[in-house]
Chain A
Amino acid sequence: MHFLLDNFWDLSVTGLAQGAIYALIALGYTLVYGVLRLINFAHSEVFVTGTFASILVLHMLGLGSDDPVPSAGLVVLYMVAAAVAAMIASGLTAVVVERVAYRPLRRRNAPPLVFLISAIGASFAISEAVGVFVGRNEVRVPNLVQPQTQFHLFGAAVSNRQILVVVSALVMMVALDQFIRRTRLGRGIRAVSQDPDSAALMGVNADRVIALTFVLGGLMAGGAAVLYDLQFGVTRFNAGFLLGIKAFTAAVLGGIGNLRGALLGGLLLGVMENYGSALIGSQWRDVVAFVFLIVVLMFRPTGILGESLGRARA
């Protein structure tokens, strides 16, 4: 207890950086759930392909894994390239998952459970394919940001990298929120998520909306992938599995189907894990996360902010 209080702000800052990544991935789960009422189990692999795509692009641009940090101007260029690559790769993976594992089943009007299994099959297959192609060892990310303390928050050092991760994540989430609120395509998504049948009657092309939803989720996962690469500096073919489960937990915690819920859930989960680890030991980290979820759901059965992509914005 003493330790937790002494290092409260330090734990909060690092917890928020991890939580921001949870939140970005959670958006993918929440978007798909909002529209289809299904858990996209393959979303973790959507994320993983992004982490590898950005490494690939950096290598192609001539940046080796153990090269020193390039000059400031180049760093921006590299970062943009890595982000674009990750978002394209993740977006594409998401589209492929939708086409291969979801659309055929939607056509056949299959029960929800079957979607779960086809998505699990896709998840195994993608993750293992990555394992076969790039190997099963840790793969190092070229170093782009040398962490340096920028300022102190109540005594806790805040590094440039933590600022970058949290701010980028927030910017992406705000952009997505605005997109869904303000654009025509966004309106389509809200319409389908509120009432698919009426939306179809009103001339909304459900297939296109659903594909768009997967793409948006993929883009967010791609963003998360770059931030993950920056933050941890290493990835692996199966890095998505646990992270995906945590992100899904975050989405449910905040209220699945609710974009702001995903943000809240992600950040909350990130800091709770850190507090729990400090209090009773890091080996109980995941237990803390799941117990926290169960307790929250007992009091708020649809998450902290409640469900629904469509309604929560109003």
Chain B
Amino acid sequence: MSTVTDRLRGLDARRVELVSLPRQWWGSLPTPARWVVLVVLAALLVALPVLNPPLLSTPDSDFPTVLFIVGVYCIAALGLNIVVGLAGLLDLGYVGFYAVGAYSVAVFGSPSSALATHFPWLVCIPIAIALSMVAGVLLGSPTLRLRGDYLAIVTLGFGEIVRLTALNSSKLGGAAGITEVPAPPGHHADGSPVFGVLDAKPYYWLALVVIFLIVIASRNLERSRVGRAWLAIREDEDAAELMGVPTFKFKLWAFAMGAAVGGLAGAVFAGQQGFINPESFQIQLSILFLAAVVVGGAGNRLGVVVGAVLVAYLPERFRALAEYRILVFGLALLLMSVFRPQGLLPSKRREVELAVRREAVDA
């Protein structure tokens, strides 16, 4: 028995070594070479649905669509990372904002909605972002005074309230949902829409662009005064308050920013789906988003993206497992958190913290 565990441990150590190799290699590269590598990687990402690589491709479902869904999860996880990873607030109702975003596009854009304003997708996007932010502030202002786990259950409740309100309001389509949700604009030379219902590749590329923009934006945000305030709140809220950081204001900001990105993710999703109903916004989705953030490495954007890829891609890739799909997924979540509590790609700062804490325990 112990030889097996030892071997597993050995494997784990080897894997850790392997994981750190690219980082070292990256560090040793001169700047121009880094750019070349980045461009090649970006090109590969863009070409992925066209290449349709054999092992990576999903045998039982359309690969470009799966890539798009993975992209939506990435957007949502990046947004949730602002709330959970940067500001350290536990949000279990993130799907609520995602739903607000999706419904904004549907209600304002679809000719069959109660409003029937028939706005194009591009006009709906800022509305979706604004409404999600409003929802974030509405939820945050009474509840952000609560600590940790109280916030968790309240946000979870909020997610359910949003879903059930949509379900029980005929103005929002009820359970029947809203059809004819507008797709992003654009036409080919022959007049057919770029964002059609048959080909998901344009949606995937759209998601890539959005992810890129959010990564840049949140990177800047993290390095700004706001980002440093979030960090202080995450590490020790009382100390931060004493040092003159208006914690409530910055927590509200984190909530609003996270909500905005969640709303954007929902809006992108709705554009591809063409039809939405409350069924697509169950609590489980909040849990999956959170799992993406934590499994990938809370606080680290690249880690969060990796986490989102795993959470969204694995169940689609292994459709052949049929009945056992969720069972295996649950075990995978459990194993990943037990073996990599810091996440697959932890933020450097967090990794150091964890090591320090472990030393403190061992001493």
- Mutual binders A and B: yes
A: which residues have CB within 8 A of B? 33, 37, 39, 100-101, 104-105, 108-118, 120-129, 131-132, 245, 248-249, 252, 256, 281, 283-284, 286-287, 289-291, 293-294, 297-298, 301-302
What distance in Å separates the Cβ of A45 from its nearest Cβ neighbour in chain B? Answer: 10
Which residue of chain B has the shortest Cβ distance to A293 in the bound complex?
A: B157
What distance in Å separates the Cβ of B147 from its nearest Cβ neighbour in chain A? Answer: 8
Contact of A121 among B160, B165, B334, B354 (CB under 8 A): B334
Q: List 14 A-B pairs, Cβ < 8 Å.
A: A100-B338, A109-B358, A110-B354, A116-B294, A117-B290, A117-B291, A117-B295, A117-B337, A121-B333, A127-B330, A283-B168, A290-B160, A294-B143, A294-B154
Which residue of chain A has the shortest Cβ distance to B343 in the bound complex?
A: A114
Measured in the bound complex, the distance between the Cα atoms of B331 and A138 in whole Å is 25
Measured in the bound complex, the distance between the Cα atoms of B158 and A283 in whole Å is 16
What distance in Å separates the Cβ of B298 from its nearest Cβ neighbour in chain A? Answer: 6
Enumerate chain B residues within 8 angstroms of A293, measured Cβ to Cβ.
153-154, 157
Contact in complex: B337, A245 (CB < 8 Å):
no
In order of increasing CB-CB distance, the 3 nearest A-B pairs are: A124-B330, A121-B333, A290-B157
Contact in complex: B338, A118 (CB < 8 Å):
yes
Measured in the bound complex, the distance between the Cα atoms of B152 and A37 in whole Å is 13
What distance in Å separates the Cβ of A130 from its nearest Cβ neighbour in chain B? Answer: 10
Q: Which of B31-39, B111-119, B319-327 contacts A (4 or more CB under 8 A)?
A: B319-327
Measured in the bound complex, the distance between the Cα atoms of B285 and A79 in whole Å is 39
Q: Knowing that A108-B341, A116-B294 are A-B contacts, what are 19 other residue pairs whose CB atoms are under 8 Å apart, sorted by A's residue number?
A: A104-B338, A111-B298, A117-B291, A120-B291, A121-B330, A121-B337, A124-B326, A124-B327, A127-B330, A131-B327, A132-B324, A132-B327, A252-B150, A283-B164, A287-B164, A289-B157, A290-B158, A294-B143, A297-B150
Contact in complex: B90, A113 (CB < 8 Å):
yes
What distance in Å separates the Cβ of B185 from its nearest Cβ neighbour in chain A? Answer: 37
Enumerate chain A residues within 8 angstroms of B149, measured Cβ to Cβ.
33, 37, 39, 252, 256
Contact of B327 among A128, A248, A286 (CB under 8 A): A128
Count of chain B residues near A, Cβ 8 A:
50
Contact in complex: A117, B294 (CB < 8 Å):
yes
Contact in complex: A291, B334 (CB < 8 Å):
no
Enumerate chain B residues within 8 angstroms of A100, measured Cβ to Cβ.
334, 338
Contact in complex: A124, B333 (CB < 8 Å):
yes
Contact in complex: A101, B338 (CB < 8 Å):
yes
Contact in complex: A128, B326 (CB < 8 Å):
yes
Between A120, A256, A289, the greatest number of chain B beta carbons within 10 A of the residue's beta carbon is seen for A120
Contact in complex: B329, A124 (CB < 8 Å):
yes
Q: Interface 1/0s, chain B 294-318, versus A by CB < 8 A?
A: 1100100000000000000000000
Contact in complex: B153, A125 (CB < 8 Å):
no
B48 within 8 A of A: no
Which residue of chain A has the shortest Cβ distance to B358 in the bound complex?
A: A109
Contact of B337 among A105, A127, A281, A291 (CB under 8 A): A105
Contact in complex: A123, B337 (CB < 8 Å):
no
Measured in the bound complex, the distance between the Cα atoms of B92 and A129 in whole Å is 24
What distance in Å separates the Cβ of B323 from its nearest Cβ neighbour in chain A? Answer: 6
Enumerate chain B residues within 8 angstroms of A118, measured Cβ to Cβ.
333-334, 337-338
Measured in the bound complex, the distance between the Cα atoms of B358 and A287 in whole Å is 42
What distance in Å separates the Cβ of A83 from its nearest Cβ neighbour in chain B? Answer: 29
Contact in complex: B341, A301 (CB < 8 Å):
no
Measured in the bound complex, the distance between the Cα atoms of B47 and A55 in whole Å is 55
B287 within 8 A of A: yes
B134 within 8 A of A: no
Contact in complex: A291, B150 (CB < 8 Å):
no
Measured in the bound complex, the distance between the Cα atoms of B338 and A111 in whole Å is 12
Measured in the bound complex, the distance between the Cα atoms of B332 and A284 in whole Å is 35
Enumerate chain A residues within 8 angstroms of B90, measured Cβ to Cβ.
113, 116
Which residue of chain A has the shortest Cβ distance to B329 in the bound complex?
A: A124
Measured in the bound complex, the distance between the Cα atoms of B84 and A117 in whole Å is 13
Contact in complex: B153, A252 (CB < 8 Å):
yes
B156 within 8 A of A: yes
Between A122, A132, A287, the greatest number of chain B beta carbons within 10 A of the residue's beta carbon is seen for A287
Contact in complex: B146, A109 (CB < 8 Å):
no
Enumerate chain A residues within 8 angstroms of B160, measured Cβ to Cβ.
286-287, 290
What distance in Å separates the Cβ of B152 from its nearest Cβ neighbour in chain A? Answer: 7
B361 within 8 A of A: yes
Contact in complex: B330, A117 (CB < 8 Å):
no
Measured in the bound complex, the distance between the Cα atoms of B160 and A283 in whole Å is 12
What distance in Å separates the Cβ of A173 from its nearest Cβ neighbour in chain B? Answer: 21
Which residue of chain A has the shortest Cβ distance to B93 in the bound complex?
A: A290
Contact of A108 among B143, B147, B153, B358 (CB under 8 A): B358
B41 within 8 A of A: no
Contact in complex: B341, A111 (CB < 8 Å):
yes
Enumerate chain B residues within 8 angstroms of A101, measured Cβ to Cβ.
334, 337-338
Enumerate chain A residues within 8 angstroms of B150, measured Cβ to Cβ.
252, 256, 297, 301-302
**Which residues of B54-97 have CB atoms within 8 Å of chain A's CB atoms?**
84, 90
Enumerate chain A residues within 8 angstroms of B291, measured Cβ to Cβ.
117, 120-121
User: Given the interface contacts A101-B338, A105-B337, A294-B142, does A284 sit within 8 Å of B153 by beta carbon?
Assistant: no
Enumerate chain B residues within 8 angstroms of A109, measured Cβ to Cβ.
354, 357-358, 361
Enumerate chain A residues within 8 angstroms of B327, measured Cβ to Cβ.
124-125, 128-129, 131-132
B194 within 8 A of A: no
Which residue of chain B has the shortest Cβ distance to A285 in the bound complex?
A: B164
Enumerate chain B residues within 8 angstroms of A129, measured Cβ to Cβ.
327
User: Given the interface contacts A113-B294, A252-B150, does A301 sit within 8 Å of B145 by beta carbon?
Assistant: yes
B283 within 8 A of A: yes
Which residue of chain B has the shortest Cβ distance to A120 in the bound complex?
A: B287
